[in-house]
Amino acid sequence: MKRGSRKISAPALRARIWVERDSAPAFTEAGADLLEQIQVCGSLSQAARRLGFSYRRAWMLIDGMNKRWPLPLVQTATGGEHGGGSRVTEYGCRVLQSYRNLQAQVETLVDHASAAFHRETQS
Amino acid sequence: MKRGSRKISAPALRARIWVERDSAPAFTEAGADLLEQIQVCGSLSQAARRLGFSYRRAWMLIDGMNKRWPLPLVQTATGGEHGGGSRVTEYGCRVLQSYRNLQAQVETLVDHASAAFHRETQS
């Protein structure tokens, strides 16, 4: 198993945060991305398309989030499955903002820790 | 979509960190757990069993990590596929320690941020 020095690219530290309730994901990176696209498009199907999600996946994500928070994060107007438009509620905006704030803090920490990590793991 | 207040358990913030090289995972939570069990058992097959991993999965994890770092993290003695025992190299111990240090820092941050997150996302 011994071997000489090899050409290997630098390691990149990655972090992901999410929120669980009852051990089930209640707010994830994919959910945050979807909420942001709904804010931009006002439509779940357009938001899904922009992210390369199937409409079904996007709908299930929203439905799951809406069930796992005390108030809905997204409201879908009546007018048929693809019809009525969707909007992120004021509460949904708040959860999204809190998630992005925490994510930014974790990413800052990981960026700052990178130099030490690389130093410690030099061969 | 409007609804009354519902009984929902408190949200739990979760974080995971990992290391990538060339966009492929080079060190993950599962890899760290496996290294720790090898330190305890001195055997890849026993370490895999303790974690509920198949031997194949554990072997692939170790093989992938050994290939993605400049030095091997685990050395497997000759003596047949399940035979010769495994040990975490000094370099493997260092990578594991750096990973656990960073993980502890991220978890501390997330724990500290929890109170603010809960306050911000109260309905």
SS (H, E, C) chain A: CCCCCCCCCCCEEEEEEEEEECCEEEECHHHHHHHHHHHHHCCHHHHHHHHCCCHHHHHHHHHHHHHHCCCCCEEECCCCCCCCCEEECHHHHHHHHHHHHHHHHHHHHHHHHHHHHHHHCCC
Q: The complex's ipTM?
A: 0.84
For A29, A34, A77, B78, B91, the CA distances from A45, given in Å and listed in that order, are 18, 10, 13, 56, 49
Residue A1: pLDDT over 50: no
A114 closest CA partner among B82, B4, B113, B102: B102
Q: Between chains, do A102 and B94 touch, taking CB under 8 Å as contact?
A: no
Chain A residues lying within 8 Å of B1, measured CB to CB: 66, 72, 75-76
**pLDDT band of A11, cuts 50, 70, 90:** confident
Q: Between chains, do A76 and B110 touch, taking CB under 8 Å as contact?
A: no
pLDDT at A6: 58
Count CB atoms within 10 A of the CB of residue B63.
13
**Neighbour-count burial of B99, counting CB atoms closer than 10 A to its CB (0-12 exposed, 13-18 middle, 19+ buried):** buried
Query: What's the average model confidence in pLDDT over A38-65?
Result: 95
DSSP code, position B108 = H
pLDDT at A79: 57
Q: What is the mean pLDDT of chain A?
A: 89
Min CA distance, B44 vs chain A (Å)? 16
Residue range A23-48, pLDDT digits in tens = 889 999 999 999 999 999 999 999 99
Chain B residues lying within 8 Å of A5, measured CB to CB: 70
pLDDT at A76: 85
For A88, B14, B90, the CA distances from B8, given in Å and listed in that order, are 20, 18, 47
Q: What is the pTM of this model?
A: 0.83
Q: What residue ranges of chain B have pLDDT lower than 50? A: 1-2
Chain A residues lying within 8 Å of B97, measured CB to CB: 120
Closest Cα in chain B to A109: B106
Nearest to B17 among A72, A97, A110 (CB): A110
Residue range A103-114, pLDDT digits in tens = 999 999 999 998
Q: Between chains, do A17 and B13 touch, taking CB under 8 Å as contact?
A: yes
Residue A52: pLDDT over 90: yes
Higher-confidence residue: A33 or A3? A33
Q: Between chains, do A123 and B91 touch, taking CB under 8 Å as contact?
A: yes
pLDDT at B84: 67
Chain B residues lying within 8 Å of A102, measured CB to CB: 13, 110, 113, 117
Q: Which two tokens stand for residue B47?
A: 């370490």
Query: What's the average model confidence in pLDDT over A60-86?
Result: 84
Please tell me whether residue B77 adopts helix, strand or coil conformation: coil
A13 closest CA partner among A109, A99, A81: A109
**Measured torsion, CA atoms of residues A98, A101, A105, A106, in degrees rounded to the nearest 10:** 60
